Amino acid sequence: MTAARGTAGYIAPELFSRNFGAVSHKSDVFSFGMLLLEIVGCRRNIDVTVENQSQIYFPEWIYNRMSQGKEMGLEIEIDGDEEIAKKLAIVALWCIQWNPTDRPSMTMVVQMLEGDLHGLEIPPKPFASSDIEMIAT
């Protein structure tokens, strides 16, 4: 690769800096995780029109809620979909680990999605914290 290409908010960190690791198939896993979070939150993960960037980083907001055992606070219309949304969010958080070696393979991602929610653990914090309380918008 000679240059990073892709949609802002979905590009793996290693595409910007080799300090995060080498570019590999795990870079696509990162992008897939961000897509899963977009599905869960029914929103884009980046909004260039928002002035205060701390208000828009949905991955950190959802991680903080889940790691504290709080409900995700999403508008769920059908019974049972809350569990599906939680599973998608946990899998997504595994996929967006900053270190590529900490991300699962796509085979493992499929297994996690097909498996039981109760078999999933919330991953370690997948990003550097901003130390600012995230606000859901």
* Domain ranges for the chain: 33-119
DSSP state of 47: -
Residues 6+ apart with CB under 8 A from 112: 87, 90, 91, 94, 104, 120
Alpha-helix runs per DSSP H in 48-127? 58-67, 81-95, 106-114
Condensed to tens digits (0 to 9), the pLDDT of residues 10-58 reads 777 777 666 666 777 888 899 999 999 988 877 655 544 555 555 557 7
Q: What is the pTM of this model?
A: 0.75
Condensed to tens digits (0 to 9), the pLDDT of residues 56-77 reads 577 888 888 888 888 776 666 6
Helix (H) or strand (E) holding 80: none
